[in-house]
């Protein structure tokens, strides 16, 4: 469901075309390239990815956004890794690394990072998006899933910065289909709240579950002490197989 051999190539092309986080100056581009070379190896100009060896995952920037936190400039940066063709299989996932970066006199340095997140299937990662979760509060939305034996499952995960790392603030099934009695889709949006500096999450479910119609909207509030969204008691987060 999620894997295409050229996933990272397409992502890299989209990255260049729409400018998601494309550094604003030659200095910024140089700083990002230096960081990528230090963390992910050599740049392959023909295939548009970074790699440390032919048998190692291939990495590319898959989401980036310049932000401000408490008046300080920062950059949200996600790097996605895809396995080489020889290592791909139905059970193999891709990888996602998440960063909050700051500019220094010598380049870019992470102030928060979480690396090695397994994502996607067939050796390719899912998709990652920078999302705004409050006035000065940002995170990442990661979507992935898999198909097999008549089942399809999709998952959405929300990661938020927490100290020098990230915390999984929310994870739920965004799609489930068994080709028989269950076919559910869920979408999420984040809405400003007049009574809170953080946005509320609104999840809309539609379809059918075990043959029964499903049409429901859930509202989730963010708990800043636990760094996660509060699940309603009647919300079934996992409907996968």
In tens, the pLDDT along 28-46 reads 889 999 999 999 999 999 9
Angle at CA of residue 239, ends 236 and 241, nearest 5°: 155
Q: What pLDDT, on the 0 to 100 scale, is given for residue 12?
A: 36
- Delimit the domains of the chain by residue range: 7-178
Q: What pLDDT, on the 0 to 100 scale, is given for residue 231?
A: 94
Six token digits for residue 192: 């400003």
Q: What pLDDT, on the 0 to 100 scale, is given for residue 7?
A: 36
Q: What is the mean predicted confidence (pLDDT) over 198-210?
A: 94
Q: What pLDDT, on the 0 to 100 scale, is given for residue 241?
A: 55
Q: What pLDDT, on the 0 to 100 scale, is given for residue 27?
A: 63
> In 38-56, which positions are buried (b, 16+ CB within 10 angstroms) versus exposed (e)?
ebbbeeeeeebbbbeeeee
Query: Which pLDDT band holds residue 70 (cuts at 50, 70, 90)?
Result: confident
Q: What CA–CA distance (Å, rounded) separates 22 from 11?
A: 13
Q: Which of 43-47, 69-73, 82-86, 108-112 has the lowest mean pLDDT?
A: 69-73
pTM of the full structure? 0.86
């Amino acid at each position: 469901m999620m894997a295409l051999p050229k996933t990272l190539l397409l992502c890299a092309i989209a990255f260049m075309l729409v400018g998601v986080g494309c550094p604003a100056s030659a200095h910024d581009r140089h700083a990002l390239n230096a960081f990528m070379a230090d963390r992910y190896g050599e740049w392959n100009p023909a295939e548009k990815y970074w790699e440390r060896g032919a048998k190692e995952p291939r990495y590319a920037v898959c989401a980036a956004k310049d932000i401000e936190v408490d008046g300080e400039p920062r950059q949200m940066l996600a790097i996605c890794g895809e396995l080489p063709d020889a290592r791909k299989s139905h059970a193999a996932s891709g990888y996602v690394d998440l960063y909050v970066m700051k500019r220094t006199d010598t380049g870019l340095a992470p102030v928060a990072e979480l690396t090695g997140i397994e994502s996607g299937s067939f050796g390719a990662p899912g998709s990652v998006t920078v999302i705004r979760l409050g006035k000065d509060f940002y995170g990442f939305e990661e979507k992935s899933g898999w198909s097999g034996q008549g089942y399809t499952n999709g998952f959405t995960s929300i990661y938020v910065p927490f100290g020098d790392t990230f915390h999984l603030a929310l994870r739920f099934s965004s799609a489930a289909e068994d080709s028989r009695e269950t076919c559910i889709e869920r979408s999420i949006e984040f809405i400003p709240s007049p009574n809170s500096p953080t946005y509320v999450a609104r999840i809309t479910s539609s379809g059918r579950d075990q043959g029964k119609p499903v049409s429901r909207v859930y509202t989730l509030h963010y708990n800043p002490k636990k760094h996660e969204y509060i699940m309603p008691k009647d919300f079934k987060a996992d409907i996968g197989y």
